[in-house]
Structure 1
Amino acid sequence: MKYFQSMNAACNDVGLSFNEEKYNKFMKYKDILKSWNNKINLTAIVEDEDIVKKHFIDCIEIFKFSPIKDISNIIDIGTGAGFPGIPMKIVDEEKKITLLDSLNKRINFLNQVILSLELNNVNCIHGRAEDFSKELEYRQKFDAAVSRAVANLTVLSEFCIPYVKIGGYFIAMKGPAVEDEIKESRSAINILGGKIEDIIKVENNNFNHNLVIIKKIKGTPKAYPRKPGIVSKKPLK
């Protein structure tokens, strides 16, 4: 129970309950992450305490955007090792989470985590974000899209906003220096049907970042996202 107190405090800080069952799931998740990380590259953060602080608690803090507590159907774009989607699911079991990643090895890892932690209503998709948001099953079907992926906000917005219903949110987890990205992305976000509603600063043991809250206020034009490869090479202006 070494990390219980810090994780409990993080949950309490955002108005969520925490208990031993949730803690044990996080510890099992940590162990699976470390084991698989020896075979495939999932994270450069490998010390137990750092995994708890820089992955688990960091992801819990997405709930500092309080409306997400009332949002049920969420897609995590470029989820990687399951961040923030799986921690969100552990602390709020009512969430329906879709995890999307382009690397099949990571999907295999995520399916193992889901099975081992006995998580319900978690779906994994192997593929590119640009492709699946063209499908009727996924386009503008989610209450929220979240992403912790390392990409410029302009690029990330084209990947994520098409998945979100009008009235829903795209929540981008970004680093401490986000002002320039926000300025550069405003036009693209508008084209894609979004509007920056808030920027929430999060401080976590000197590990600081921002939640960029984008509300979907109109439909995304059919032309977006563009074909794979183009989004990153030629970001929207």
Structure 2
Amino acid sequence: MDQITEQFTALLKQQGIELSSAQLSQFELYYQELVSWNEKMNLTGITERAQVYMKHFYDSLSLSFYLNMEEVQRLADIGSGAGFPGIPLKIAFPHIKLTIVDSLAKRISFLQHICDELKLTGVELIHGRAEDIARQPAHRDAYDVVTARAVARLALLNEFCLPFTRQSGVFAAMKGSDPTEEVAEARKSLKELRAALDRVEAFRLPVEDSDRHIVLIHKNGATPAKYPRKAGIPAKSPLI
């Protein structure tokens, strides 16, 4: 184990997460494949190994600091990009049944390759727009936890993600800077989508010492039939 993985494991241990040597090997292979594929397609602007471990892997796992992932059976990651936070959470908590939705076929191809290389099971990869997939009975009001990381403003994310969240489930929006303004702006969307703000968790990313916030939203009832609106409409006319 080198200095980067030693630091990674030590920081996670402080949060009650202990990774096996097999899981650490999965993270390392994930890093190597990410960098390799990134030469062919734009997956991430972060490729330096120490930064990938901290800004992608550790940051993704930070969701588990505030939610008991042992109790989560089904998790959906919307607009996952290169697989964050879904794939790191799946590696650390292999019992989770993970669904990833992304609108770009190339990214889905990369994620399929990662799942094959890392021998991950119980992962469903869906190419499509969140607004369309959330209307399918198999995914509507179906997931214990739904998450999105640095995808869009909260009012828009709510319409993308809350339709996937089951009643009494949680939508967790992973943000960088202070989301106070976004939370205020999102009040109408929360009301329309039968959800309520639970809390906002704030922390600083170790080593990088940068701000992180996780907005935790509780789903109170089934998604009204008119939501989500047709693909493209939420972005043009968010619920604010």
- Could you report, residue by residue, the CA deviation over 1:66-92 in whole angstroms, capped at 9, with x for unpaired residues? 333311100000000000000000111
CA distance in 2, matches of 1:14, 1:215: 23
Distance 1:180 1:74 in 2: 27
Distance 2:184 2:69 in 1: 25
Is the contact made by 1:79 and 1:149 (CA closer than 8 Å) also made in structure 2? no
1:79 maps onto 2:83 in alignment: no
Q: Distance in 2 between matches of 1:96 and 1:7?
A: 24
Structure 1 Cα separation of the partners of residues 195 and 113 of structure 2 = 35
Q: What are the residue-to-residue correspondences of 1:176-191 with 2, within 5 Å?
A: 176-191=177-192
| 2:238 counterpart SS class | coil
Alignment correspondent of 2:94: 93
Partner of 1:33: 34
Show the counterpart of 1:214: 217
CA–CA separation in structure 1 for the residues paired with 2:103 and 2:180 = 28
CA distance in structure 1 between the partners assigned to 2:159 and 2:149 by the alignment: 14
Give % identity: 37
Match of 1:12 in 2: 13
C-alpha distance in structure 2 between counterparts of 1:162 and 1:103, whole Å: 20
Rounded to whole Å, the distance in 1 between the matches of 2:69 and 2:194 is 19
Q: Give how far 1:170 is off.
A: 0.3
Q: What's the CA shift for 1:219?
A: 1.5
**1:7-66 CA deviation, whole Å, 9 max, x = no partner?**
212322332221211111101000000010011110011111111110001011111113
Q: Which residue of 2 aligns with 1:235?
A: 238
For 1:144-159, list aligned pairs within 5 A: 144-159=145-160
Correspondence list, 1:126-145, <5 A: 126-145=127-146
Partner SS for 1:208? strand
Contact 2:195 2:219 in 1 (8 A): yes
Displacement of 1:116 after TM fit? 0.2
Q: Is contact 1:14–1:66 with CA below 8 Å preserved after alignment?
A: no
Q: Secondary structure at the match of 1:33?
A: helix
**How many Å separate the matches in 2 of 1:13 and 1:227?**
44
Report how far residue 144 of structure 1 moved: 1.0
Query: How many correspondences in the alignment?
Result: 237
Q: What's the secondary structure of 1:203's corresponding residue?
A: strand
C-alpha displacement at 1:202, in angstroms?
2.0
CA shift in 2, pair 1:39/1:127, >3 Å? same
* Structure 2 unpaired stretches of 5+: none
Alpha-carbon distance in structure 2 between the residues aligned to 1:34 and 1:168: 34
Alignment-mate amino acid for residue 233 of structure 1: K
Displacement of 1:176 after TM fit?
Answer: 1.9
In the TM superposition, what whole-angstrom CA distance separates every residue of 1:126-145 from its partner, at most 9, and x where no partner exists?
00000010011110011110
Give 4+ residue runs of structure 1 displaced > 4 Å after superposition: none
Contact 1:61 1:202 in 2 (8 A): no
- TM-score (norm. length: structure 1): 0.97
What letter is aligned with 1:116? E
CA distance in 2, matches of 1:72, 1:35: 32
